[in-house]
Each structure stands twice: as structure tokens, then as C-alpha cells.
Structure 1
Amino acid sequence: MTQRLSGVLLVEDDEGDALLVRECLRDAGLADDDLIWCRTVADGVDALVEKPSCVLLDLGLPDAEGLSALHTVVAEVTTTPVIVLTGRHDRTGVEAVAAGAQDYLIKDDLTPELLDRTIRYAVQRRQTQLTEVQLREERLLAAENSRLERGLLPKPLLRTGFVSCASHYRPGRARAVLGGDFYDVVELPDGRVRAVIGDVMGHGPDEAALGVHLRVAWRSLVLAGVPDDEILVALSRLLEAESPGGIFVTVCDVAIDRDLGATIQVAGHPPPMLCADGAAAYLEVAFGPPIGIRDEVPPAGWPVTRTTLQTGSALLLYTDGLLDAFRQVDSLTSVGLDELLEIACGALGEDGSLDDLLASIVAQAPIRAVDDTALVVLRVDDPGAGRTA
């Protein structure tokens, strides 16, 4: 069924021509109440607030010369098609289309069928153009986001086969590239592997930018040889300088030595999970306050937990977005720790790569968390890899 015309704005100063157009539109099925008639460009621009589906524009108006009326209307509307009415059998109509009109009609040739078909085609063409522009913008945005992601998400800096790692990252905001969560993994010249995972309070663009600052600062401090027990102190000072508004950040900082000794510093972050011999358990760690909380920086720095790993064991670092995905929504006490541990134990029994392990854990989450989610797994493969005699 052909849809009835609706919402046409006619800008025409000649009453006889306006009557002709009105009669043609009435015969084409347009109700009289759906036609807005203005005599000047200025009145026509004011009438655009009614959001007509199409504008019929005469070029010979009292307050416009040549194509100036068209330029004025096209500058005011980006989604509404404009059809030029002209009494001339010359290039005026072609020039109008080149200047932004969807089509043109010669008044002497007007018929209800021609006017109806021209309006419908103009509306459809304009909608198609807008859709193409939107799709092109979406493709450009996707390409830009991909470049940002490649540039801002870290690439693990592992030189040998001592430790292998895999990661998963998903921002909480729709169509975002980054959230407030951050992570990084670096192998130092002395063979030690350093890793960090953190969670900036909130998950907007400001928090994402702050997360990038902290991750880059952490890598810079580590590569510069700053002592491990001074890293979180330095990050705390940076956070205070970058965000004086009181935002806090939870962090888990890990160092794995070649003798398989591991030191862990936790600043208000969920405890790492140790996976070994087909079983998984949360490490018992000493907790310090999140960084960024004024007057709560420990005098001696954040407490250090030491443990020993074994070849083939894996250390799972994560942010609380993952816990939210495993939290039982109908339970008043569940925070997701027990549920995540159970799924991780089951995933360990499956053969596959570290990427498969992470994919299995994420896929089994019962709900989709609204918070940012970061997940990193570090597996100790060969303490002698890359060492020289």
C-alpha cells in the first residue's frame, strides 16, 4: 500500500502558483492540514521547526535572489529533502540540484502524479544518503577505535619462554574502547617478570584516560629500575597529581623471580588466584588500602606477600568486573569469589591454550557485568628459558 504524503512545507510567494501546488498535493492525497505555506525564505526557515518531510521551494522570492533561497534553506536542514520549483526551462533546475536540492520541477509541467512521485523519491533518496553517511561514520569510528585499542592496550613485553601470558579486556561502557581497568606485563633484563592489574573507580572516559596514565607510568617505573616496594608509592603520588578530586584505584602488583619466588603487593584489589596441579585457590595476601586515598599511604609502603610457584602453575589476575559477572544476583552475601573459583577449577581440567582458558572462564559467567573487566593469566613455563651459561 502506498503511504500517504504528509508534512510538506511550500515556500512560494505567488498565490496562483501556491494554489496550483496545493491542488496537486490534495489530489495526491495530502491533507490540507499537512501543508504549510510560507511566502518568504525567512518565514520558511521559521516553519522548519515543524519538521516537514519535504520542502517545496520557489527561487523567485521577495527576500532572495538566484540560488540564495536554496542556500539558506539547505544550510538550515540536513535531513529534509528540498525540491526546487521553477518557471524557467533553462539550467536553473540543474544548478539547484548541484547546489543541494534533491530535485527540481517546472511549474508548467506539474501534475498530481508527477508531484507525488517526485516528493516520494526525494524523501527516499535523502533517507538513503543519510543512511550511507551514518554507515560511513560508523566504519570510520570502528577503524579509529581499532587504532586506539592497538595503541593504548598494552602488548606484553616478554623476551623468553620463562612466563607466558594471555589477557581479556572488555570496557563497561557501550561502544567504548577502554575503561578504567588496566594491566601490563613486562620481563626485565635480569629475567624477572613483572605484572600489574588495576581498577580506577568509575568507568567513563576520564577514568579510561587515567588508567592509561597509570599503566604507562607503571611500565616506565619498572623499566627504569625503580625498586619494587616504591612502585605503588610513586603511582599514588602520580594519582594525586593527575586526579586531585579523590578518585581511588585498586592495584595488584606482582613480581616473579627465576627461582619461582613471587612477591605480591595488593592495594585494595581482589586477591590473585593460583592454579596448580588441576586445582585453584585464592592466595592469602596482605592487603593495603587502595592508592589515592589521602592520609592512608602506609609509612613503610604497601605490605608484601611472598610465595613460591612451580613450573606449570598459573597466576590469575582480574578486576572486580569479572566478579560482578559471577555474583549470584539473588544472594545477599555472594560477591562472586566462590563462583569464579569453581569455574576456574573446571576450566583447568580442559586441554587448551591460555587464551582458551580465559575464553572458557569468561563464557561461563552467568551475567554480563556493567563494569569494566580485565583478566590476565601468567603461567610459569620454564625457569631456565632464555638463560645463558
Structure 2
Amino acid sequence: MLRRIPQAPRLPLWSPSGVGRATVAPPCPRGREGTQPMSVPIPRQRVIPAAAGGENHPAPTRAPQVAGVADGDGPVGGSGLTLLVIEDDPGGSLSVPQLLDSAGKPIRVRTARNLTEAERLLTDDVHCILLDLALPGRAPAGADPGQEAPAAEGDDADELAALKQVLRLAPRHAVLVLTASGDAERGARAVRVGAQDYLFRDELDGRLLSRAIRYAVERKRADAAQRQLTESRLRAQENARLERGLLPTPLLEGSPLRFAARYRPGRSRALLGGDFYDTVRTPDGSVHVMIGDVCGHGPDEAALGVELRIAWRALTFAGLVGDDLLSTLQKVLEHERADEEIFATLCTVDIAPDGRRAGLCLAGHPSPLIARPGRPAELLPYENSGPALGLLPRARWPRQQVELGGSWNLMLYTDGLIEGRIGEGNQRLGQDGMLDMVRRQLATGLRGDALLEAAVNEARELNGGDLTDDVAVLLLARERE
């Protein structure tokens, strides 16, 4: 068995250029019982020469958040692996054999005789830790640094106290443990606690240890990648649950009107965008519907849209309509927006209890489409609309009275539906194109959910792919009495 390389009286500090070397005093012996403990020695680092016949393995692949690994395909700077050996070896019974990394370079080895010294040597360029399980755990605070931690009889946790301390100190490092040949169960418990693998102390050789180091580093990378993937999935599930809970639930109990909606956020993998809508029935029998659009597509805009929707519902139940309602919503927007340039468009419709008349307010928003039997679909009047919320501090939004008739379909939408392109040019679908499209679909007998689904799908097909803006489309329908 190879023995430890005898230590010279003075060790040179390694220098990349090979010049400017300095020397330091050799490490002092550790304190013993009844003597004054000496200070912790300056970390030792040595290069183990390549062993003849060392195996050549593929370079480790990239993985996230593993110590000693950069953005490239291998160790930091491509300078080979570094091993930190932690072992209590006063008699020199443990020897580290010659090692090669996967690129055929010698593995640098640092040694620490206790956990206090290991903590100082544990830098980001260390790739793997080799821990002797015979090493005692850290002594209680205020104790002699050379004193062993007390162990409780029959307690497995105490047998692995040193390992648990190392795992706390080095959560991003790969860890191998050494145990006696007849103590495989202890090694297995160490793996269950968090080590990447275990080795028998008296069976070490260069090939085995080199392979175990590379395996431990790769397994740590895989564990880190799997942990990140799991955390990402949990965050995505939680975000989806939160966003789903923020989508509106129409309150139309007791109303004869039929309601349908389609909502597609422009953000990838999102459930909620800057578009928002809602509909409620108040105690007097009136049905109120709203649709709006906050400029922008990010999560901040989505959150602001939710705030405006909730404020609209509360103000509507409080009895506000028309200019009073929109003026108050503008104050909410001004207080909640992150930037003074953020604005929101809005369309509100309040339908009388008999369903034949409605009040319409437009704040920079496209006018709704109405379809009546025997007449082509058309837009409701939009000449008296007001500006978008957040643009003018003293703006006014007139409420227009419109006649709906006995039977009708009323479609409200955001500009994401009409701003998609047509073909490969710069031409947009626009409101005229949308009118023609909906007229054709109504002529084929489409109504309700089927009509909205067909309208959104055709707009997407004309665009040549997914619509980049948020899209919200609502439909209220009343059958003739």
C-alpha cells in the first residue's frame, strides 16, 4: 500500500507561473490532552502524479449549481479536479493513491485533519470531498479544537455526525465516505443521509478512487439538476393554481342571459395576462359586463388587471355606473400602477332587467359587436367614447343608451383578436375583417362557445401562428321571449 508522501520542512506555496514562490512553516501538531492546542495549520495542497494505466473517461457534462463547475463542460478553467480529503490520521495509516481525472490530468488533493481545518480549505474550486467516517464530529462550542465530540451509545445519527456537519458546510459539493471493509451498512446509511457513494478504506486504489470521484461529481450534478427541475415544476404548479384562482367566476344566477368566454394570455405558459373581464347580476336584475386591457404583457400587468377587475365588481355592486364608475377605476389605476405611462382600456355594458336596453361606456376600447336575427352583425356606436384610463387626469366617459332588441348576441373582445396579421404582409385583421369573419360564422349556425372558439382559431390561422397579444372574448346572448 502506498504511504503518505513525507512532508518537507517547508512547503512552497503554489504559483501558476512557477515564479514568486513563498514558503511557510510546516503545520504544527494538534493539541493533545493536557497541552495547549496549536493554531490550525495553513492548508496543504499537493499534486498526485498520474498513475500508469489510468482510465480515460469522457469529460463530465454541464450541470447547474455544483461547486467547482463553471459554465463550460468541465471543471473551472479546465484545470482538472480538486479533492479535499478529511481524515484523522495521526499514524499515517491512510494513504491516498495516485489519481487521474477524466482528461488524464493529475487530481489535486488537499488534506484536512479536522472539520475546522476542512471549513477553511472548502473553496469553490473543490469538486469532491473524501471523508473518513472515523473522524469525530465537531466538538461543542468552547471546547478544545482537538477534542472529539461526545457520542451517544446506539445512536446512528452520532456515528454520522461528521458527515452531517460536512453536508451542512458543503451542500453543493460531492461527498464520498470511507468506512471499514466490514461496515458496509454504515456506508449505506451515509448514502441515505446525503453522501454520493462509500468506499472501503483498505481497498483504495487509483482507478477505483478516480472513478468514484468522477461518479460522485456527476451524480451530484444530476441531483442538483433534478432538484431544480422539481422546484421549477412545483413553482409552475403553484403559479398556475394562483392564476387559475384569479380568473373571474361570472355571477349570473337568476338571469336568462347565456354567457360564454375565451381567454388566451400572450405570455408563454401563463394562464393570466393583462386582459381582464367580468360579469355580474345586481339585485335589481340588471346584468353588468366588463372587458379591459392593461398595456403590456408581463406579470405586473396581469396583476394590475386583476386589481381593476375586482375593483369594478365591488363598485358595480355598490351601484356605480358610467362616468362615476370609470373615474373611480382611474384612481385605482393611478395608485396601483408601477409607472405613470401605464394605462388600461375598458368597455362596460349594463343591461336593463328586461334585456332590451343597455348603457355603454368606452374608455379607449373597441366597441362591442351585436348580432340580431335578420340583420348583419354590426358594431355598437362608438363616437362618444372617452380616453383610456390613466391618460388624462380629468377625463370623462359618457354613458350611451343603446337599444338591443328582443333577441341578440353581444360580443365583447380585446384588441388581441383584431390586431393579428393576415398572411405574410403587414395587413391586420381589424374590426372590419372581424365583422366579416363573425358574419360568416353566424351564417353557418355557430353560437355560444362554438362561435367564440371558431373566431379565435380563425384569427390565429390568419396570423400564421399563435397571436402574440393577450386575447379575451365574451359573448352574452338573449333569446326572444
Q: CA deviation at 1:182?
A: 1.0
CA 1:223–1:295 in 2, change beyond 3 Å: closer, same or farther?
closer
**Could you say which structure has the larger radius of gyration?**
2
CA distance in 1, matches of 2:409, 2:162: 71
Q: Partner of 2:97 in structure 1? A: 20
Q: Distance in 2 between matches of 1:341 and 1:263?
A: 22
Q: Secondary structure at the match of 1:287?
A: coil
Instruction: Note the alpha carbon deviations across 1:37-72, whole angstroms, 9 max, x for none.
Output: 2224346531x347x4x5544567899778676446
Is the Cα–Cα contact under 8 Å of residues 292 and 365 in structure 2 kept in the other structure?
yes
The higher relative CO (CA closer than 8 Å, separation ≥ 6) is in 1
Task: Say which SS state the counterpart of residue 325 (structure 1) adopts.
Answer: coil
Give yes or no for the alignment of 1:260 onto 2:356: yes
After superposition, residues 271-350 of structure 1 pair within 5 angstroms as 271-277=367-373, 279-285=376-382, 286-298=384-396, 302-326=397-421, 330-331=425-426, 334=428, 336-350=430-444
CA distance 1:43–1:337, change in 2 (3 Å): farther
2:84 to 8, 11, 19: 11
Between the two proteins, what is the percent identity of the paired residues?
A: 40
| Residue type at the aligned position of 2:359 | T
- Secondary structure of 1:197's counterpart equals strand
2:278 maps to 1:184: yes
Q: What is the TM-score when the length of structure 1 is the normalising length?
A: 0.79
Unaligned runs of 5+ in 2: 1-55, 61-74, 76-80, 113-117, 139-147, 150-159
Deviation at 1:140, TM superposition (A): 3.2
C-alpha distance in 1, partners of 2:376/2:294? 30
Q: CA deviation at 1:377?
A: 1.5
1:233-272 equivalences under 5 Å are: 233-243=327-337, 245-246=339-340, 247-257=342-352, 258-272=354-368
Closer/same/farther in 2, CA of residues 264 and 115 from structure 1, 3 Å limit: same
CA distance in 1, matches of 2:291, 2:478: 18
Name the CA distance, whole Å, in 2 between partners of 1:42 and 1:363. 61
Task: Single out whichever of 255-264 and 271-280 deviates more from structure 2.
Answer: 271-280
Contact 1:262 1:309 in 2 (8 A): yes
Distance between the aligned counterparts of 1:18 and 1:293, measured in 2? 76
Distance (whole Å) between structure 1 residues aligned to residue 308 and residue 443 of structure 2: 35
Q: Which runs of 5+ in 1 are unaligned?
A: 385-389
Query: Quick check: which one's helix share is greater?
Result: 1
1:84 to 177, 182, 188: 177
Q: How does 1:1-389 map to 2 (within 5 A)?
A: 4=58, 6=60, 7=75, 8-12=81-85, 19-22=96-99, 25=100, 30-32=103-105, 35-40=107-112, 41-42=118-119, 45-46=122-123, 48-49=124-125, 52=127, 55-58=129-132, 70-71=163-164, 74-75=167-168, 81-86=174-179, 89-90=182-183, 93-111=187-205, 114-115=208-209, 118=212, 122=216, 126=220, 129-130=223-224, 133-134=227-228, 136-243=230-337, 245-246=339-340, 247-257=342-352, 258-277=354-373, 279-285=376-382, 286-298=384-396, 302-326=397-421, 330-331=425-426, 334=428, 336-364=430-458, 365=460, 366=463, 367-382=465-480
Within 1, Cα distance between the matches of 2:371 and 2:57? 64
Q: Classify the secondary structure of the residue corresponding to 1:39.
A: strand
Distance in 1 between residues matched to 2:471 and 2:403, nearest whole Å: 27
RMSD: 3.6
**Deviation at residue 228 of structure 1 after TM alignment:** 3.6
